[in-house]
Amino acid sequence: MQKLFLIVSLSFLIFSCKQNTVQKPQQHLVSDTAMVVSANRLASKTGIDILKQGGNAVDAMVATNFVLSVVYPRAGNIGGGGLMIIRTPDGKATALDYRETAPLKAHKDLYLDESGQVIEGLSRNGGLAVGVPGTVAGLYAAWQKYGHIKDWSKLVMPAVELAEKGFAISESEAHRLNKYKDDFLKWNPDNKTFIKDHWLKGDILKQPALAKTLRMIAGKGPEAFYEGPVAQAIVDKVTKSGGIITLEDLKKYKAKFRNPIVVPYKDYTVISMPPPSSGGVALGQLLKIVSHYPVKKWGFHTYKTTHLMVEAEKRVYADRAEYLGDSDFYPVPVDTLLDDAYLEHRMADFDPLKATPSDRIFAGEFELHKESFETTHISVVDKNRMAVSCTTTLNSNYGSKVIVDGYGFFLNNEMDDFSAKPGVPNQFGLIGAEANAIAPQKRMLSSMTPTIVTKDGQLFMVLGTPGGSTIITSVFQTILNVIDFDMNMYDAVQAKRFHHQFLPDYIMYEKKTFDKAVMDSLKQAGHKLKQVKYMGIVKAILVKDGKLEGAGDSRNKDDDVEGY
């Protein structure tokens, strides 16, 4: 009996130690068969487990997403939305849009005061910032059409178990929970799950209310979220927090399959997201523009290459502000924006020796709000080379900061991605026009750029990233790093980045991106520069010589690659 007691005690001690240990993620891996890259080791491992059980890339993506809603609450979510590109083994690709929508009671002047000025913060915090969530509907739609595992609950239950048993939080998650404590208290005074005196790395986060919600979703699918008690709780909390979402909004929500943006780049084909994402169009424009210049010969981060890329970015982001929005509501001129003659005309005033001031491209001036990276991305490739590139978000850290009472999940603040007023920037400093004005059931414009690249009809690369307005340029640079500058996947992801978004008129760059000679040349040409901590957190997989090379981004210490 004493021996049995010692064994049980030892087992409990070992379990407790494991629970209180944050295992170090791996950010670079080469494997033969299949791979998952995500923002958390527990999520990536869950995806690999699903693949080993006979699931395909979509099954793995769904399971990974649900686990991220537990272990990565600042961006992983069931209260937000996302976009994904799916490519089947036979080479067919589709885009799935499960972006949030504006409530039925929303209108163009929702965030303006009586004098027509934007009310600061109204679209970012509290119930009025919340768009109708799309994540649960989107993940279910992807599984229903492409999943291989027949039992939906198998894809959700790993997340249920983690929410119930708890997990050891990372240092970065502890930092964010502490940072937003006052916001949690303001909007959720009775919810103690995410609030304590001070979170530390290794503390166990248990989420019984979220576990209950996920268990309901495992049993009934989207119906458990968009109808019944969960839906009523969403409406009650949003209303209590000043918002306008109704039961009708939730019941009417639908995820949509769309035709992806497909553009050639040299010997490659790039497949990315159509509107309401600006990502695919903008990425396609950038790649088409630089394809006419010898950037490979010019070299990585030289003056010539950087100047060209920046000048292209200015023009592309100006187009984004003017023309891009939800194509179900606004006639987005996609074909024109990607037309070779149009792009040649856009670059007609490009001067290789001088910067073009942004006020000559489009008028306007403002200050850039602090960048956010609280979106997350998953890249998956399975044994049959089916691939999924999926970007999902709550928008800001923990979205609107509003938690649904009794059900344990954060709601997004995606309404800020609309143009509250033409010419007035959102939290990422991005401006917009009528194309992205608020309207009932409209989907807000996004920068999310889930992307798949092929070569000679075969899968070549899967990638995407968080990073707000820098998403597009981070994906753009990573593709060039591999194709033009001959980097492996890991080096391409870790390479220093820069960004220009037309307004404000300066180049953002990471420390040590450029040497002094290049910096001096850029300044002499008339460019303004501003150093930032980092931009983009790319998660990517490269298919080369029959093997898979996966890379997480060292800019986020929690990024993890798993494969077999």
Dihedral, 151, 153, 154, 156 alpha carbons, nearest 10? 140
pLDDT value at 16 more than 50: no
Q: How far is CA 452 from CA 73, 252, 385, 387, 542, in A?
A: 26, 31, 12, 8, 10
Please write the tens of the pLDDT for every residue from 281-338: 999 999 999 999 999 999 999 999 999 999 999 999 999 988 999 999 999 999 999 9
Q: Are 60 and 237 in contact (CB under 8 A)?
A: no
Which of the residue ranges 65-74, 109-118, 253-262, 379-388 would you say has the lowest mean pLDDT? 109-118
Residues present in the chain in total:
564
Q: What is the mean pLDDT of residues 337-354?
A: 96
**Identified catalytic residue from 305, 375, 376, 478:** 375
> pLDDT-based confidence at 432, cuts 50/70/90?
low
Q: How far is CA 557 from CA 44, 102, 454, 487, 553, in A?
A: 14, 34, 29, 21, 8
Q: Across all residues in the chain, what is the average pLDDT?
A: 93
pLDDT of residue 427: 72
Query: Quick one: pLDDT band at residue 430, thresholds 50, 70, 90?
Result: low
pLDDT of residue 374: 74
375: number of Cβ within 10 Å: 27
**What is the domain partition of the chain in residue ranges?**
32-253+378-420, 258-371+448-563
Render 174-215 in DSSP notation, one character per residue: HHHHHHTHHHHHHH-TT--TT--S---TT-EE--HHHHHHHH
Q: Is the pLDDT of residue 20 over 80?
A: no
Check if 393 is active-site: no
Biggest distance spanned by C-alpha atoms of the chain: 86
* Position 5 pLDDT exceeds 90: no
Mean pLDDT, residues 251-266 taken together: 98
Percent of the residues in the chain that have a pLDDT greater than 90, as a whole number: 89
- What pLDDT shows up at residue 423? 64
CB 126 within 8 A of CB 242: yes
Q: What's the pLDDT band for 373 if we cut at 50, 70, 90?
A: low
In this prediction, residue 6 carries a pLDDT of 42
User: Would the pTM of this model clear 0.85, i.e. be above it?
Assistant: yes
* Residue 443's pLDDT band (cuts 50, 70, 90): very high
Protein fold of 258-371+448-563? Glutamine Phosphoribosylpyrophosphate, subunit 1, domain 1 (3.60.20)
pLDDT value of residue 65? 98
Q: Give the single-character DSSP code of 534.
A: -
pLDDT in tens, 76-121: 999 999 999 999 999 999 999 999 999 999 999 999 999 999 999 9
Exposure letters 272-294 (e unless 16+ CB within 10 A, then b) = bbbbbbbbbbbbbbbbbbbeebe
